[in-house]
Amino acid sequence: MIATRVGYTGGSTADPTYEDLGDHTEAVQLSFDPELVGYAELLTDFFAWHNACGRAYSRQYRSAIWVQDAEQRRIAEAAKNAVERREGRKVATAIEDAGRFHLAEDYHQKYWLRGHPEILADLVRYYPEREGFLGSTAVARVNGWLSGSTKQEEILRRLPSVGLSKRGEEALLSALRR
Reported as a single tens digit per residue, the pLDDT across 138-165 is 999 999 999 987 888 999 999 999 999 9
Would you place residue 1 in the very low, low, confident or very high pLDDT band (cuts 50, 70, 90)? Answer: low
Q: Which CATH class is domain 2-103?
A: alpha beta
Using the predicted structure, report yes or no on whether residue 134 has a pLDDT greater than 70: yes
Q: CATH 3.30.1060.10 region(s) of the chain?
A: 2-103
Dihedral (CA of 111, 135, 16, 27) sign: negative
Predicted local distance difference test score (pLDDT) of residue 26: 94
Using the predicted structure, report yes or no on whether residue 48 has a pLDDT greater than 70: yes
End-to-end CA distance of the chain: 28
Predicted local distance difference test score (pLDDT) of residue 3: 73
Beta-strand ranges (E) seen in the chain are 2-9, 25-32, 64-67, 94-97, 102-103
**Cβ contact 119:172 at 8 Å:** yes
Rounded mean pLDDT, 123-129: 93
Predicted local distance difference test score (pLDDT) of residue 142: 95
Rounded mean pLDDT, 103-125: 93
Would you place residue 25 in the very low, low, confident or very high pLDDT band (cuts 50, 70, 90)? Answer: very high
Output b/e per residue, 36-65; b: 16+ Cβ within 10 A: eeebeebbeebbeeeebbeeeeeebebbbb
Cα separation, 71 vs 12, in Å, equals 25
pLDDT in tens, 64-86: 999 999 999 999 999 999 999 99
Predicted local distance difference test score (pLDDT) of residue 5: 86
Question: Considering the chain, what is the average pLDDT of its residues?
Answer: 92
